[in-house]
Structure 1
Amino acid sequence: MAKKGGKKVYVVTVDMGYGHQRAAYPLKDIATRPRSIKKHNGSDVICANTYPGVPNSDKRRWEGGRGLYETISRMKKLPIIGRIVFGTMDYLQRIKPFYPKRDLSRPTAQLRQVYGAIKKGWGKDLIEKLNKEPLPYITTFFTTAFFAEEHGYTGDIYCLCTDSDVSRAWAPLNPKTSRIHYFAPNKRVKERLMRYGVQEKNIYVTGFPLPKENIGTRGTLRILKKSLGCRVGKLDPRGVYQKKYSHTLQEYLGKQYCNIKEKRPLTIMFAVGGAGAQRDIGITILKSLKDCIERGSVSLILVAGSRPDVFDYYTKVLRNLRLNARQKKNISILFHRSKFRYFELFNEKLCHTDILWTKPSELSFYSGLGVPIIMAPTVGSQEEYNRAWLHAVGSGFEQEDPRYTDEWLFDWLDSGWLAQAAVEGFMDAPRNGVYHIEDVVLRNKKSEIEDVHLL
């Protein structure tokens, strides 16, 4: 429950993959619950589809959507039928081309169906509970924003977008009269929401909320700068980038964070998505880098997230590979059944990670922490836009064939390319989203990303 004297808000998310909950995690410090909702997920963040006492009718609606998405995502790699089924789902969720500029406010059939379910009572139980003690309401999912507005929530309503571009589903049925305020992770999302009919005054370009434990205080960015200072040395073993851009590094990091030597191997983190797809890529990477891992020059973190099936898969494969003691020392599996505890462990490991290898999901925004991203194949049309955004920022690259990671990765390192990507992300990807959001909601202060940030 809320501490006396401290301003608090309701942070509402959904348990569907990782993206929506990962966006909510950095806001946990300002989150609280009404007395009628017991603590769950190890925090005061409220999960709309799993909170204690959620009506069975609501639960069935949520579980149907989540189960279908995860099943179809895993089916994508099946030769023929998988592509057809996934393609159909992806088409229904597609984001229309941004150009030519035009009015895109017409609601889709899917959006009308969502509103039809809400009018029949979907989400009413949650909003009635929150309305007994109204506070500012921040949600990381569009449907739960619609819950609040349609069921008469009396507090302010904020919706936090979680990708670098969004479909029509994120805007309400009648956007021009809606009182939902939006937190956009980048300028393109603001422009897109306006095309959907959302009023400009209701949109704040805050950036995606990144974890404070990876940033440090807003003014000094001490933790972020120290991590990046160590990372640049690992990503530029020949000093190519550091020599050419020494003045840039000193200006943006400060001399005290340049040329930091940390006694650890080059650390690569491979993270699967919430549906558990692409887990096999992690093993392919491991096999390719096996000799480097044995020499102690590379450490690999396989992220199973909160999925026991992925953890079991990695555990079984590692056992069958019969790794020796030196190899085992430099290979680890990151797993916890609680998603919020997993996020905490992930953020802790990320401070000492040099390369994040993952599909371009919400983790694309973590390039703002000065971490270069090697992109696995996309899963879903929104990730195509995230991929384009990473390219525009200069902090992400498509993977080459994982079977030959031991060849192309070290070519990239020798060129200083990955070090440059890390610094580009630090300089041009928004990183203070959590602080901007707190300014808007807690202090009634308009707070947005600086103009220097791209897209």
Structure 2
Amino acid sequence: MDCSKFVFENAISRKAYNKALKTKAKFIKKFGDDTDVVYHLAPKEAPVIGKALGVTNTVISRKSGCKFDEKSIIIGNIRMGFGHYRISMAIASAANSMGYKPYWFDLHSFGGTTCGKIIEQQNELYSLGSRLSQKFSLFNKLVWEPLNSEGFRKLTYNAADQKTSELMTAVFRDLPKDIPFVATHVWPSQAAVHAGLTNVVNAIPDNWPMALHLSEGAVHTVQTPSAYLGYRALRGMDKKRCLKPMPKEAIVYTGHYIDHELVSNIEMDCAKRVNRIRDDKPVRWLMSVGGAGAQKEIFVAVIRKLLPSIKMGKAVLFINVGDHAKVWSRLVREVPQMKPFVHEHFEDFPNTEKFCKNAYDGNIRGIHAFCQSDIFAAVYSTNLLMRCSDVLITKPSELSFYPIPKLMIKRVGGHEAWGAIRSAEIGDGTYECTTAAETGAMIDMIQNGRDIIEKMCSNILIAKKAGIYDGAYRAVELAVGKKQ
């Protein structure tokens, strides 16, 4: 079936279908069509997570070198910001803990291929849009918010993406058709289905149902009950008609996609946080800066707000700028007053590992900044820092689902709003603080009223018992279970 003509038995208009064909033709004209080219895959050590999560990276090679067996599982992803990489690491971590061998399969990294070129362009456009949305309120109101909440929600958008993903199938030729495949972005999921793979799980990242994330032929997993109902009903994906729902076998509620290292240590990590609060130790704040480099003004406001408490030894601030050294330089220029308290941990991941290990049981002061040019180290540093932190400051994207007390700052795109709603309802995070002033007031309340951290830790333990953080394990079970 042509997935651009029908989406779960819902017919797409001729106009929308022709537009999808034109979109595909534009990409072919610009980047070529390599669907008949034979690409081979070879294994390569995955930096940082290779040892930690047992992950093997896959790269394009002249000869096939990957030896897949019954314990192999493919983690299909792209780099678009940090979110999809982070979710992929969670899936890989769960798979590794369950005795499977995860292979990292990043379409964005396959430079020179049509799919790599398409995703590179789309990533640049998305990053630009994210930055502009935070710089120009009118652009955010008239373009970015509507696009991310309603534009990507349309069923016709999925039709266009399905045609585009047909151009991404060439790199799948070395994969056995029945190998378990978990995708943490819709494009590798759609491409896997087009390439004939039969055990595909499409791990949907957001809590706001959008047709953008549909991949008919795969099993869709969602992290929340509300997302399950929204996707099952294809809610709001066509404003002019009621749509036929997704069949029940096409979608599963799994819970949040969280790394095994974090899930298995929830009780211990929460106990550490509570003990620090009761012993009147400095509150440890972790600020994760997104890959798009947006929200600089809010980050500056947070640093300025915390600086007096940091000077008095009442607070500690961890800042992970990922692989964006320029972002750190801009923050230092904006807040030069923090320089005397700053300790930089740059381009030395073993040092970051050692720091986190020592901080877990030891005493920490000041501001600690982390930056790694390697994308794996950049993303995984936040995972390590979460375990020795008390509060995570983050926009309500993929990190809003993680088992750590969270302060939610302003979203980047309307689709992220429901991440904060989910966290606030579970009680492991705040509601979305939409202004710098509101964010500062929440910092004051948490910093001075430390019972809030203790209450959030209590709610995290309740959620752990309910299996809310077990989504990564369940996604793996679905992928390998179909094969079994």
Question: TM-score with structure 1 length normalisation?
Answer: 0.74
RMSD of equivalent CA atoms: 3.1
Asked if structure 2 preserves the Cα contact closer than 8 Å seen for 1:171 and 1:198, the reply is: no
Q: Report the CA distance between 1:162 and its aligned residue.
A: 0.8
2:282 aligned with 1:265, yes or no? yes
Q: Which moved more, 1:374-383 or 1:326-335?
A: 326-335
- 1:198 and 2:262 aligned: no
Rounded to whole Å, the distance in 1 between the matches of 2:470 and 2:139 is 43
Cα distance change of structure 1 residues 271 and 440 upon mapping to structure 2, 3 Å threshold: same
Unaligned runs of 5+ in 1: 33-42, 96-106, 173-177, 217-222, 238-260, 447-455
CA shift at 1:337, angstroms? 2.0
Residues 144-153 or 346-355, more deviating: 144-153
Superposed displacement of residue 215, structure 1: 2.5
Task: Indicate whether 1:157 and 2:200 are aligned.
Answer: yes
Instruction: Identify which range, 203-212 or 68-77, moves more after superposition.
Output: 203-212
- Are residue 168 (structure 1) and residue 223 (structure 2) matched? no
| Equivalent residue number for residue 38 of structure 2 | none
Cα distance in 2 for partners of 1:4, 1:27 equals 18
Deviation at 1:279, TM superposition (A): 2.5
Q: TM-score, normalised by structure 2?
A: 0.70
- In the TM superposition, 1:310-321 aligns within 5 A as 310-317=327-334, 320-321=336-337
Q: Are the aligned partners of 2:274 and 2:454 in contact in 1 as well (CA < 8 Å)?
A: yes
Q: Does 1:292 align with 2:305?
A: no
What is the identity, as a one-letter code, of the residue corresponding to 1:156?
Answer: N
Aligned match of 1:188: 226
- 1:136 and 2:170 matched: no
| Structure 2 residues not aligned, in runs of 5+ | 1-42, 44-55, 57-66, 97-101, 235-244, 345-364
Question: Which residue does the alignment assign to 1:450?
Answer: none
What is the CA–CA distance in structure 2 between the aligned matches of 1:49 and 1:401, rounded to whole Å? 34
Secondary structure in 2 aligned to 1:332?
A: strand
1:179 and 2:217 are equivalent in the alignment: yes
Q: Which residue of 2 aligns with 1:246?
A: none
Deviations 1:31-75 (A, max 9, x none): 79xxxxxxxxxx941111213x551x3233212221111111111
What percent of counterpart residues are identical?
A: 18
> Quick check: 1:288–1:403 contact (8 Å CA) kept in 2?
no
Indicate the residue corresponding to 1:47 in structure 2. Answer: 106
Amino acid at match of 2:262: N
Aligned residues: 379
For the residue of structure 2 that corresponds to 1:9, the secondary structure is strand
CA contact (8 A) 1:208 1:434 kept: yes
> What are the superposed Cα offsets for residues 68-94 of structure 1, whole Å, 9 maximum, x if unpaired?
111111111324345433245335535
> 1:271·1:358 contact (CA, 8 Å) conserved in 2?
yes
Q: Is the 8 A contact 1:9 1:30 kept in 2?
A: no
Deviation per CA, 1:307-333: give whole Å up to 9, x if none.
Answer: 232133234445x32633589951011
**Partner of residue 251, structure 1:** none
Change in Cα spacing, 1:231 to 1:171, as seen in structure 2 (3 Å) is: same
Distance 2:387 2:338 in 1: 29
The Cα of 1:428 is off from its aligned counterpart by: 2.8
What CA distance in whole angstroms lies between the structure 1 residues aligned with 2:381 and 2:282? 19
**Separation in 1, partners of 2:457, 2:94:** 30
Q: CA deviation at 1:5?
A: 7.3
- Which residue of 2 is the match for residue 146 of structure 1? 190
Instruction: Within 5 Å, give how 1:28-427 maps onto structure 2.
Output: 28-29=92-93, 44-51=103-110, 54-55=112-113, 57-76=114-133, 77-81=135-139, 83-90=141-148, 92-93=150-151, 95=153, 108-119=155-166, 122-131=167-176, 134-153=178-197, 155-172=198-215, 178-196=216-234, 197-216=245-264, 223-235=265-277, 237=278, 265-317=282-334, 320-321=336-337, 323-324=339-340, 329-366=365-402, 369=403, 371-397=404-430, 398-399=432-433, 402=436, 409-412=443-446, 413-414=448-449, 416-427=451-462
* C-alpha deviation, 1:23, in angstroms: 0.6
* Pair 138,288 (structure 1): closer, same or farther in 2 beyond 3 Å: same
Q: Distance in 2 between matches of 1:127 and 1:66?
A: 21
- For the structure 1 residues 116 and 399, does the alpha-carbon distance in structure 2 shift closer, same or farther, using more than 3 Å as the test? closer
CA separation of 1:297 and 1:198: change in aligned 2, threshold 3 A? same
1:15 Cα deviation from its structure 2 partner: 0.8
Q: Residue 130 and residue 280 in structure 1: after superposition, are their counterparts in 2 closer, same or farther (change >3 A)?
A: same
Contact 1:23 1:208 in 2 (8 A): no
**Counterparts in 2 of 1:54 and 1:28: CA distance versus 1, 3 Å:** farther
State how far apart, in whole Å, the 1-side matches of 2:218 and 2:68 are. 28
- What is the rounded CA distance, in whole Å, between the counterparts of 1:381 and 1:288 in structure 2? 27
Deviation at 1:288, TM superposition (A): 2.0
Taking structure 1 as reference, are residues 75 and 68 closer, same or farther at Cα in structure 2, changes over 3 Å only?
Answer: same
What is the distance in 1 between the residues matched to 2:195 and 2:72? 22
The amino acid that maps onto 2:148 is D
